[in-house]
């Protein structure tokens, strides 16, 4: 009887398993119509975009800390404040009382003054003193290891030249009319593009209609993206068809609250965007009703009151594959490149 050598078999069994591919993870945290997006790079550096509302017994700071714990994050490497409105910057003092923040990023001085605007801004400045500070302008880079994070807009300005591979004429501009100029902090929003290999994601804060269109009209200076966070919570003051359709996202996340954002007109613009595979929502939008909300499985929070503050997580591979996970019902879906 011939005995077969077993060494190759034993070597095969002993071979170490290949490590799982490292992903870029986004946690879209429920702050009830504000913004708090935790981004964890493959190198495990953290970038938090905005902090939600003040007060509320530290509700939003607690939700951010809980999501960070789930992601294995103990401190925030970079905190980006898109603009100085209560639902974006209000939670900073409470957050820094609960988690270390190393570097604060913003667009510079506020353009709104008096009363609540001054109180919010000065509370932020006091908290900012605990770390280092970067004031950014369009074209700057945020130095997260393994990622290319480009500032597209800041302080009312936008990138002057197209990004590599972009710059094509945008036919959608011909049918989109400008709106009244916006003098508020919304138009000052810091907007960023994050690239990880072939994957691209965009977050423009609360940038409003005319400023959005400056990025893509008459030529699209950005190109296309894989993941689009609806601007301004999915309100129709933003989400111009000229930019949404030019970006041609594969997946979109609407960071709305039950009664803030998710307006039917903006929802329809995003939902009908050419090439969109799916839209997910942080909340069911009361205004949208049955016709302008996605299926319940793709909504993190269903009720106006009493929700647990569930989040949506997007995990992206460097080849462009995306997996979206809903913490409420554990439903997930993968979108291959």
Where are the chain's structural domains? 21-335
Instruction: List helix spans (H) across 105-153.
Output: 116-128
Per-residue pLDDT for 3 more than 70? no
For the segment 100-129, what is each residue's pLDDT rounded down to a tens digit?
Answer: 999 999 999 999 999 999 999 999 999 999
For the segment 210-258, what is each residue's pLDDT rounded down to a tens digit?
Answer: 999 999 999 999 999 999 999 999 999 999 999 999 999 999 999 999 9
The mean pLDDT of 307-332, rounded to a whole number, is 96
Read off the pLDDT band of 4 (50, 70, 90): very low
Taking the C-alpha atoms of residue 47 and residue 38, their distance in angstroms, rounded to an integer, is: 6
pLDDT greater at residue 166 or residue 304: 166
Taking the C-alpha atoms of residue 186 and residue 110, their distance in angstroms, rounded to an integer, is: 11
The CATH classification number of 21-335 equals: 3.60.15.10
Instruction: List helix spans (H) across 152-230.
Output: 209-216
For the segment 63-92, what is each residue's pLDDT rounded down to a tens digit?
Answer: 999 999 999 999 999 999 999 999 999 999
For the segment 13-37, what is each residue's pLDDT rounded down to a tens digit?
Answer: 444 554 456 999 999 999 999 999 9
For the segment 122-158, what is each residue's pLDDT rounded down to a tens digit?
Answer: 999 999 999 999 999 999 999 999 999 999 999 999 9
* E strand or H helix at 37: strand 37-40
């Amino acid at each position: 009887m011939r005995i077969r050598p077993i060494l190759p078999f034993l070597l095969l069994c002993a071979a170490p398993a290949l490590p799982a591919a490292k992903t870029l993870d986004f946690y879209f945290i429920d702050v009830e119509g504000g913004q708090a997006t935790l981004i964890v790079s493959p190198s495990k550096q953290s970038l938090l975009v905005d902090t939600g509302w003040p007060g509320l017994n530290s509700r939003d700071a607690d939700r951010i800390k809980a999501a960070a714990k789930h992601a294995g994050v103990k401190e925030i490497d970079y905190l980006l404040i898109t603009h100085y409105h209560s639902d974006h910057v209000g939670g900073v003092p409470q957050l820094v009382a609960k988690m270390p923040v190393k570097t604060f990023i913003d667009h510079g001085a506020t353009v709104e003054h008096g009363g609540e605007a001054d109180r919010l801004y000065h509370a932020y400045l006091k908290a900012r003193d605990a770390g280092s500070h970067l004031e950014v302008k369009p074209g700057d880079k945020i130095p997260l290891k393994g990622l290319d994070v480009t500032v597209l807009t800041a302080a009312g300005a936008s990138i002057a030249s197209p990004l590599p591979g972009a710059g094509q004429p945008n036919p959608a501009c011909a049918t989109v009319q400008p709106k009244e100029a916006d003098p508020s902090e919304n138009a000052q929003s810091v907007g960023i593009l994050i690239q990880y290999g072939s994957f691209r994601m965009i977050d423009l804060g609360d940038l409003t209609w005319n400023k959005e269109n400056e990025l893509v009209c008459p030529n699209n200076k950005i190109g296309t993206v894989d993941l689009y966070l609806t601007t301004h919570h999915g309100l129709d003051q933003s989400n111009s068809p000229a930019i949404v359709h030019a970006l041609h996202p594969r997946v979109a996340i609407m960071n709305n609250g039950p009664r803030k954002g998710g307006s039917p007109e903006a929802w329809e613009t995003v939902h009908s965007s050419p090439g969109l595979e799916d839209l997910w929502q942080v909340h069911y939008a009361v205004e949208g009703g049955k016709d302008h909300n996605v299926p319940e499985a793709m909504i993190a929070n269903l009720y106006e009151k009493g929700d647990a503050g569930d989040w949506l997580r997007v995990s992206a591979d460097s080849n462009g594959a995306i997996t979206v996970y809903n913490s409420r019902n554990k439903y997930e879906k993968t979108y291959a490149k």
